[in-house]
C-alpha cells in the first residue's frame, strides 16, 4: 500500500507543541498498519515554507521514480500561498542579500509596520489566486488516473491576535479555501475527498487557541493533529479490506 503525502510545515513536528509520534500522518499510518494486511509505505514530503507550485513540482519528480498505480494521495497546503505579505517576493530577495546591519533594520521596520502596510493596500501573495487554482486543478487531474483516492485538507482558520497583526489573513484563507472547494467540485470525482479543516476546527468544542499555536496563528497543536488524523481515518474506514 503506497501513500504519498505532500504538505507544508503543518505536517511536521513543532517544538513545544507536536512530537514525531503526535503528527497526524504518523497517527494515520499507525491506524493503517493495524487495519490492512499488507505492507504500508508512506512517502512523506512535508516540508517547511512550501507553496503549491513547489510541492507540485516535487510530486511530479516523484512520479518518475514511483510509476504505476498508488493507493492514497494526501495534499495539505495553502497557508503559505495565501498569507498576505507587505512586500513582494522579489523585494524580499533583495533585502535578504543586503548587509546584516541594513537587512535587520529593514526587516524590523517592516515587521513593526506590517499591519499598517497591509491595511493601506501593500498586499502581496507568494502564489496568487489564479495561479493557485490552475496548479491545484492540474495536480488533481493528473493524479486521478494514478491514485485510488485523494484526500485534500483545506486551510485552517487563524486566531484573532494574528489577524490583528496581519489584517486580511482570515479573508484570504476563506478565498483560497473557496478555490479548493470549487476546483474539487468542478472535477467532480468520487476519488477526491475534501477534509474541511476550516469548519472542523472552527466548530470544535475546544477553543481555537488550543488547536492553533498562538505564536504564529497557523501551525497545529497536538490536539489538532489528533483531529486531522481522526478525519482521515473516518474517510479511510470505508476502504478497509481486512480489519484488525
Confidence of residue 244 (pLDDT cuts 50, 70, 90): very low
Buried b (16+ CB within 10 A) or exposed e, 65-77: eeeeebbbbbbbb
The number of distinct structural domains making up the chain is 2
Taken in order 34, 47, 49, 9, the sign of the CA dihedral is positive
**Which region among 59-73, 102-116, 182-196, 212-226 has the lowest average model confidence (pLDDT)?**
102-116
pLDDT in tens, 213-241: 998 899 999 999 999 999 999 999 999 86
Buried b (16+ CB within 10 A) or exposed e, 10-40: bbbbbeebbeeebbbbbbbbebbeebbeeeb
Beta bridge partners of 195: 153
Alpha carbons 151 and 153: distance in angstroms, whole number: 7
- In this predicted structure, what is the pLDDT of residue 185? 98
The answer to whether residues 144 and 42 belong to one domain is yes
- In this predicted structure, what is the pLDDT of residue 242? 52
Residues 6-25, mean pLDDT to the nearest whole number: 97
- Alpha carbon of 65 to those of 59, 191, 199, 203: distances in Å? 10, 23, 36, 41
Does 111 score more than 90 pLDDT? no
The answer to whether residues 35 and 150 belong to one domain is yes
Q: Work out the mean pLDDT of the chain and round it to a whole number.
A: 94
Confidence of residue 92 (pLDDT cuts 50, 70, 90): confident
Whether 244 is in a domain gets the answer no
Residues 128-135, mean pLDDT to the nearest whole number: 98
Does 114 score more than 90 pLDDT? no
Alpha carbons 234 and 150: distance in angstroms, whole number: 14
Q: Is the pTM of this model over 0.85?
A: yes
Domain range enclosing 169: 2-84+126-239
Whether 110 is in a domain gets the answer yes
Whether 101 is in a domain gets the answer yes
Domain-terminating residue out of 74, 109, 124: 124
The answer to whether residues 217 and 233 belong to one domain is yes
pLDDT in tens, 72-91: 999 999 999 999 998 988 88
The answer to whether residues 153 and 211 belong to one domain is yes
Whether 184 is in a domain gets the answer yes
154 against 162, higher pLDDT: 154
CATH number at residue 147: 3.40.50.1110
Amino acid at each position: 500500500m503506497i501513500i504519498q503525502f505532500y504538505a507544508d510545515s503543518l505536517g511536521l513536528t513543532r517544538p513545544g507543541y507536536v512530537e514525531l509520534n503526535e503528527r497526524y500522518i504518523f497517527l494515520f499510518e499507525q491506524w493503517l498498519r493495524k487495519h490492512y494486511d499488507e505492507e504500508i509505505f508512506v512517502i512523506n514530503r512535508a516540508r517547511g515554507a512550501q507553496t503549491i507550485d513547489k510541492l507540485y513540482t516535487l510530486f511530479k519528480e516523484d512520479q518518475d521514480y514511483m510509476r504505476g498505480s498508488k493507493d492514497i494521495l494526501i495534499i495539505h497546503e495553502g497557508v503559505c500561498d495565501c498569507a498576505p505579505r507587505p512586500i513582494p517576493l522579489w523585494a524580499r530577495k533583495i533585502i535578504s542579500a543586503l548587509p546584516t546591519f541594513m537587512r535587520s533594520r529593514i526587516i524590523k521596520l517592516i515587521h513593526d509596520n506590517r499591519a499598517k502596510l497591509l491595511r493601506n493596500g501593500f498586499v502581496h501573495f507568494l502564489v496568487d489566486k489564479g495561479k493557485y487554482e490552475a496548479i491545484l486543478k492540474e495536480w488533481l487531474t493528473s493524479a486521478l488516473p494514478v491514485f485510488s483516492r485523494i484526500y485534500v485538507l483545506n486551510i485552517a482558520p487563524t486566531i484573532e491576535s494574528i489577524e490583528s497583526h496581519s489584517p486580511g489573513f482570515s479573508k484570504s484563507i476563506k478565498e483560497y479555501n473557496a478555490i479548493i472547494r470549487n476546483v474539487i467540485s468542478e472535477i467532480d470525482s468520487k476519488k477526491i475527498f475534501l477534509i474541511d479543516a476550516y469548519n472542523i476546527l472552527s466548530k470544535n468544542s475546544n477553543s481555537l487557541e488550543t488547536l492553533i499555536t498562538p505564536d504564529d496563528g497557523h501551525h497545529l497543536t497536538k490536539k489538532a493533529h489528533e483531529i486531522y488524523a481522526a478525519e482521515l481515518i473516518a474517510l479511510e474506514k470505508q476502504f478497509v479490506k481486512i480489519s484488525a
